[in-house]
Amino acid sequence: MTHAHTSVLDRRTTVTVAAYDSYPAAQRAVDLLSDRRFPVDRVAIVGNDVHLVEQVVRRLTVARAALAGAGTGAWIGLLIGLLVGAFAVDGWLPVIASGVVLGAVWGAVFGAIAHATTGGRRDFASVSGLRASEYAVVVDAAHAEHAIRILESARHDRPNGRERERWRNER
């Protein structure tokens, strides 16, 4: 193999046995190794050239921040209402309902204030995640040939397209 390196977890020497363009493809390769009784405790999936990607999903306004705060506050109010209501002598339902309503009101107020104090510096909601340009399946050097034989013998699980080209070039 072309890439031998040391495992970040316990400093074992490892070898790249396959590389994929997607994480699910690398997972399928490890799953195949597992299905063939390969010692998967000697396998790692390594994301190379990792980037943080933040996808903006919508504009964030004071009203939306208040609505999100109200939802969070209602859940907290429900929890507190359930805890207090469990010890209520007379009717627990009004205690729970009051907790939900008060929690929603206070959550809306705090959500609106929190957003307003940003001064418009972050008027959007987003979701963040990590992406790698390549996902390498690496195994302990002592087990590399066995892993390569398993992956090569499974024609239906071989990578396709650009992944197949990379697979061949690493041999």
Quote the CA–CA distance of 89 and 111 in Å, as a whole number: 34
Edge-to-edge strands, sheet with 4-6: 4-6, 13-20, 124-140, 43-59
Interacting residues of 34 by C-beta distance below 8 A, sequence separation 6+: 40
Taking Cα atoms as reference points, which of 76, 75, 78 lies closest to residue 96? 78
What is the structure's pLDDT at 137?
95
| Domains and their CATH numbers in the chain | 4-49+133-169 (3.30.70.1530), 61-122 (no CATH)
What is the structure's pLDDT at 116?
92
Quote the CA–CA distance of 10 and 95 in Å, as a whole number: 54
Whether pTM exceeds 0.75:
no
What is the structure's pLDDT at 8?
52
Torsion angles phi and psi, residue 163, rounded to 5: -65, -40
Which residues of the chain fall short of a pLDDT of 70? 1-11, 155-171
What is the structure's pLDDT at 163?
52
What is the structure's pLDDT at 114?
93
What is the structure's pLDDT at 64?
94
Taking Cα atoms as reference points, which of 171, 154, 165, 168 lies closest to residue 33? 154
